Amino acid sequence: MMKKLNTNLIILFLLVAEFSFAQVKDTSIINGIVHEATYNSQLENLAHELMDKIGPRLVGSPKMQQAHDWAIAKYNSWGIDAHNEKWGEWRGWERGITHIDMLAPWIKSLEGTQLAWSPSTKGKTITGDVIILADMPDSLSFQKWLPSVKGKFVMVSMNQPTGRPDYNWEEFGTKPSIQKMKDTRDKQTANWSKRISNTGYNNKTLVRALENAGAAGIVQNYWSKGFGVDKIFGAYTKKIPTINIALEDYGLLYRLAEDGTVPKISVRADSKETGIVPTFNTIAEIKGTEKPNEYVLLSAHFDSWDGGTGATDNGTGTITIMEAIRILKKVYPHPKRTILVGNWGSEEQGLNGSRAFVEDHPEIVKNIQAVFNQDNGTGRIVNIAGQGFLNSSEYIGRWLSAVPDSFRSQIETNFPGYPGSGGSDFASFVAAGAPAFSLSSNSWAYGTYTWHTNRDTYDKIVFDDVRNNAIVTAILAYMASEDPETSSRVKIVLPVNQQTGEQDKWPPQKSPTRRGGLD
């Protein structure tokens, strides 16, 4: 009996001792999180269902809606409450079948993609010659040239001098040939922007002038500087299709058009306009038991561009936070504070879903203990910065101390950091003064190969790293939820800007676009 009491006293003493300089953590919960993430991972399944079975999640598309409904069903199947919250409306558009073929001087199916929101070919296959945007000395001569685009596909991008990425040149090229290639490219790039500005239009107004002059379609190439990779964004045309043709095929057409051969292509694009549709955020919740009106928010945008399937932007952030809350529900079902998940809509058009949430829920935003946002690719979390919150090192340091060393040793911290004004949804909360942080991952060639490209697909996901991130996110959420202290929102004094001589200002809260895609 006595012996038992002693043991209890020692444990009590140890707990109190630890409490005095660090936050108490229940190692059985930490171990439970790691165990569940490691031996019962749902990540592959979630990724397969979201990226392969649903697909890309363009704002206003039926697939975006399908994804929101899928997320609700997933959360409910784990016993987690969730709802879709409407915040706005968008032009509805659904991608259809696209065929792009070269018919002359020889036959070849071309690798290309209709840009998002591009008009369709109205159930027909359109055939026409391909011409290059003319190089005119000024807008007057361009206006004279403009009628000659009638019935033609007009190429509006420069032809890249090389389809090899720079790293490949640097590995195999001689110094003089690398320099020559770069000089050629710089000169061509400068000449091409001169060619555009000489028309008297910008990129957006130019394609509208071309369509008003009767062009059959707009052909562009937005190379992403890697092998076989292009960035796919939205179209500016209102009547005629805009297509991106992959660098290899674009170069072929361009060289032919340039030597006077006049290539002919046919395009069929069967997209559909679906009217004005509502846009949503999916919000999931595990109610807090002691402080239900204080919040730990796991944040990741749910939408994507639609050239690929949005696997790393932001499928990986999405499945990270879904897996994290699934694990928490199992291992830590009665959190002290309320744990929320925000699967935001329309981040890609300007953080719209999260900005709307911040605007619509001041009562939540003022009681946020922490926001953890994940949105820069599939890699391991390697950096957490304090976003300009003066005391962030104290509480993030406390929470990170519970992360097992094999994960924590990967992470560099930067305190107090500087308030982020954009880039992803944490910025919507930072702007409102709420302690919000980016769980930044290492790159895996994100910017070149997957970010907004036609190659952002399931096969690029590095599941071991995403598993690592689900564990780190779940532990941070657990620790933030349990912390006896409320996180400080004290901001750093911002430095004086070298250029303006004025003191930098905290980024202002911005309103979302609540009705989009209509101009």
- Closest to Zn ion by CB, 142 or 280: 280
Min. distance of Cβ 375 from Zn ion in angstroms?
4
Give the whole-angstrom CA distance, residue 218 versus residue 333: 54
Min. distance of Cβ 378 from Zn ion in angstroms?
12
Counting residues that bind Zn ion (by CB under 5 A) gives 3
Site string for Zn ion, 123-142 (x = CB under 5 A): --------------------
Q: Does 456 engage in binding with Zn ion (CB under 5 A)?
A: no
Q: Does 425 engage in binding with Zn ion (CB under 5 A)?
A: no
Min. distance of Cβ 408 from Zn ion in angstroms?
25
Q: Which long-range contacts (CB under 8 A, 24 or more apart) does 401-409 make?
A: 401/22, 401/23, 401/25, 402/23, 402/25, 402/30, 402/475, 402/478, 402/479, 403/471, 403/472, 403/475, 403/476, 404/30, 404/34, 407/468, 407/471, 407/472, 408/472
Site string for Zn ion, 294-313 (x = CB under 5 A): -------------------x
For residue 67, what are its two tokens? 């994804």
- Closest to Zn ion by CB, 241 or 379: 379
Q: Which stretch binds Zn ion (CB under 5 A): 137-145, 182-190, 367-375, 438-446?
A: 367-375
- Closest to Zn ion by CB, 142 or 451: 451
- Closest to Zn ion by CB, 313 or 482: 313
Give the whole-angstrom CA distance, residue 264 versus residue 259: 14
Q: Which stretch binds Zn ion (CB under 5 A): 13-21, 138-146, 183-191, 374-382?
A: 374-382
Q: Which stretch binds Zn ion (CB under 5 A): 127-135, 221-229, 373-381, 498-506?
A: 373-381
- Closest to Zn ion by CB, 117 or 426: 426
Asked if residues 384 and 437 have their Cβ atoms less than 8 Å apart, the reply is yes
Burial-class residue 217 by CB neighbours within 10 Å (0-12, 13-18, 19+).
buried
Residue 91, strand partner residues: 276
Residues 308-347 that bind Zn ion (CB under 5 A): 313-314
Q: Which stretch binds Zn ion (CB under 5 A): 116-124, 369-377, 412-420, 433-441?
A: 369-377
Site string for Zn ion, 160-179 (x = CB under 5 A): --------------------
Min. distance of Cβ 422 from Zn ion in angstroms?
11
Give the whole-angstrom CA distance, residue 57 versus residue 347: 11
| Ordered alpha helix ranges (H), 174-272 | 175-198, 203-212, 247-258
3-state helix, strand, coil split of the chain in percent (to 5) is 40, 20, 40
- Closest to Zn ion by CB, 247 or 436: 436
Which secondary structure element, helix H or strand E, spans residue 242, and what is its range? Answer: strand 242-245
Torsion of CA 443, 447, 452, 453, to 10 degrees: -100
Q: Does 375 engage in binding with Zn ion (CB under 5 A)?
A: yes
- Closest to Zn ion by CB, 156 or 427: 427
Residues that bind Zn ion (CB under 5 A): 313-314, 375
